[in-house]
Amino acid sequence: MNDDLKALIRTIPDFPKPGIQFRDITTLLLNAEGFATSIARMAAATLGPVDLVAGIEARGFIFAAALAVPLKAGVLLIRKDGKLPGVTIAEDYALEYGTDRIAMHEDACAPGKRVLLVDDLIATGGTARAAVRLLRKAGAVVEQAQFLVDLPDLGGADALRAEALSVDSLVAFPGH
């Protein structure tokens, strides 16, 4: 399923370091029909109505904005800490070596709002799990996350499922 979309995603070997098979979605984004089909299929997979589509910086913004239109929802930006101009709330998450921090505007999500989390790719799930914690800290109801690409061998989608989320992706690639 979705082999038509998978064929539009370029693999670049040994980027950003040897042994990594980088899944480059820019080739899908350049294809108007492929991008539109991706958004239509993600919209069709959305569970129930949502108030906001939260996109994780930076490629997640593309999918969140496009998906919000057919879902008649607003767009909530989850950014690297220090990038938003207003008062923010933030969440730390672990990296391979060290930690990072994501943030959102404190007033971006009223308690009880139904939020769909979206990003281009799920790998280990560290950033997505931090985004879920951040949204829930704000009082959001987060029950589903969607991704264009899943790298299931890295376990991120399973980690989100362990946090009571329905997780959908359009395509999956083995390895990392």
Q: Higher-confidence residue: 176 or 1?
A: 1
Could you give all domains of the chain from N- to C-terminal order, each with its CATH number? 47-172 (3.40.50.2020)
* pLDDT digit string, tens, across residues 61-100: 999 999 999 999 999 999 999 999 999 999 999 887 789 9
pTM for the whole thing?
A: 0.96
Q: In percent, how much of the chain has pLDDT > 70? A: 99
CB-count burial class (<10 Å; 0-12, 13-18, 19+) for 141: middle
Q: Is 98 left (phi over 0), alpha (psi -120 to 50) or beta?
A: left
Instruction: Name the pLDDT band for 1 (thresholds 50, 70, 90).
Output: confident
149 has which bridge partners? 121, 171
Burial 148-171 (b: 16+ CB within 10 A, else e): bbbbeebebbebbeeeebebbbbb
What is the pLDDT at residue 92?
95
How far apart CA 100 and CA 83 sit, in angstroms, is 13
Residue pLDDT, tens place only, 19-28: 999 999 999 9
pLDDT at 38: 98
Q: How far apart are CA 41 and CA 90, in angstroms?
A: 31
Q: Say what the alpha-carbon torsion angle 75, 81, 83, 84 is, to the nearest 10 degrees.
A: 50
Does 59 qualify as catalytic in the annotation?
Answer: yes
Residue tagged active-site, from 41, 57, 59, 114: 59
